[in-house]
Amino acid sequence: MKSPEWLQEFQAQWGQLLRTPLETSGGVFHSKSRSNWKAVYAMIPETANAGISVYHFQYWTRLFNVLQKEFPLTAELMGHWDFNLLAQRYLLEHPPCTYALQDLAEYFETFLDKVTLPGPPGCLRQAAAWDRARQKVFAAPFTQAWNPQGLAVDNLFELTLKPCADWMIISEDWPLLDLYLALLADRSKKLSWPDRLLNAQTYLVQRVGAALVYRPLVQLQSRFYQNLQKMNLGLALIELEKKAQGSEADLHEYVRRWLQEGVVWGLWLSPIAETHP
């Protein structure tokens, strides 16, 4: 059944009203009635008009709060005022389009690539990548990790491992994980821009039970796990040998250890042995 025309018109006008950005004069966000809101005013009781600005303000602050929750480290490094200004620009380009408010964050990282950001170049983008990784890993579906007992594979090097959904590898050039953990320990802590690390650090962030764990990885171990997500074990080893320094025997010993750790940590789904005609 088709909805009445007046309702369709009201919904369209109401949507435009809500998408009107908040004013920022005086160093605070506030809702200000606009001339193009008159169509909405005409459709509701006059006694309700005063509540529109309140609802409009609460609508935007709710969206700001969602993005702050999705990107806590990014918001704290920027400061909530500057973060909310940036969030409003983002939401004007990518307004809510699903019933799940967490979907607001989907394009935020891409948006950051197009704007000028404060702080050390690249630092906030890495902070946002960290924030997003944590959210994705924590919200990943539960899967049964691989138990290799009793596995019979004719050619081990043709073994293809598929990653579980509850982990990601992420690198940082600033001590962003330490900053985030400090923030968790003390929400009142004022964050300052960090100094760049002498050497980049790579972590495997994984959901274990109801918590996240952060496993530091050496560069070759990180590359090995990333290779295994795209190719079979034999090809992953060949690619690793191109980057490795030292003896082949040492590398193979490391690979055995990393495979064992990956199984213990529960990184892989049940494997598939490739077959060739």
User: Cα 86 to the chain's mean position, in Å?
Assistant: 17
Are 145 and 164 contacting, i.e. CB atoms less than 8 angstroms apart? yes
Between helix 219-228 and helix 233-243 the angle, nearest 10°, is 150
Report the distance separating Cα 162 and Cα 268, nearest Å: 6
Tokens of 214: 């952060």
Between helix 80-93 and helix 49-70 the angle, nearest 10°, is 100
Q: Write down the pLDDT at residue 206.
A: 98
Q: How many residues does the chain have?
A: 277
Q: pTM of this prediction?
A: 0.85
DSSP-assigned beta bridge partners for residue 273:
159
Report the distance separating Cα 203 and Cα 265, nearest Å: 14
Report the distance separating Cα 233 and Cα 225, nearest Å: 10
∠ CA 17-26-68, nearest 5°, is 65
Residue type, position 136, single letter? K
Q: List strands edge to edge, sheet with 211-217.
A: 167-172, 201-208, 211-217
Residue type, position 229, single letter? Q
Report helix, strand or coil for 49. helix
Q: Write down the pLDDT at residue 39.
A: 56
The tally of CA atoms less than 13 A away on the side-chain side of residue 169 is 19
Place of tokens 């060739």: 276
Report the distance separating Cα 49 and Cα 112, nearest Å: 37
pLDDT in tens, the chain (277 residues): 566 565 455 565 666 677 778 888 888 998 775 655 555 555 565 555 667 778 788 988 999 999 999 999 999 999 999 999 999 999 999 988 877 777 899 999 999 999 999 999 999 999 999 999 999 999 999 988 887 765 555 567 788 889 999 999 999 999 999 999 999 998 888 899 999 999 999 999 999 999 999 999 999 999 999 999 999 989 998 999 887 776 677 888 899 899 999 999 999 986 554 444 4
Report residue 4: phi and psi, to 5°: -60, 150
Report the distance separating Cα 74 and Cα 80, nearest Å: 9
Backbone dihedral region for residue 209 (phi beyond 0: left; psi -120 to 50: alpha; all else: beta): left
